[in-house]
Amino acid sequence: MDLTFMETVWWVFAQLYEKGLVYKGFKVMPYGTGCKTPVSNFEASQNYKWWRGDVYSVFNLAIR
């Protein structure tokens, strides 16, 4: 990563922190794995429907 870019990111983060705009919290956030970005509550609730079904996953285990 470019050193100038990295220092700029840290500077911006420090500015936001000093203004009280950064906080530590724990909550579930909708996340889009396709675009790798957070998803708004509006986007997460679009086309939502209840579906009752089972999900099965199969994994191959390497036993040593």
35 within some domain? yes
Task: Give me the pLDDT at residue 31, please.
Answer: 83
Give the per-residue pLDDT at 46: 77
By the 10 Å C-beta count (0-12 exposed, 13-18 middle, 19+ buried), 44 is classed as: middle
Residue 64 belongs to some domain of the structure: no
Q: pLDDT per residue over 8-64, tens digit each?
A: 999 999 999 999 999 888 887 788 888 888 888 777 777 667 777 777 788 888 887
Enclosing domain of residue 21: 3-45
Number of separate domains in the chain: 1
- Domain presence at residue 8: yes
| Its pTM surpasses 0.85 | no
57 in a structural domain: no
Residue-level pLDDT at 7:
95
pLDDT reported for residue 30: 82
Is residue 7 within 8 Å of 16, Cβ to Cβ? Answer: no
User: For residues 18 and 6, what is the distance between their CA atoms, to the nearest angstrom?
Assistant: 19
Q: Is residue 9 part of a domain?
A: yes
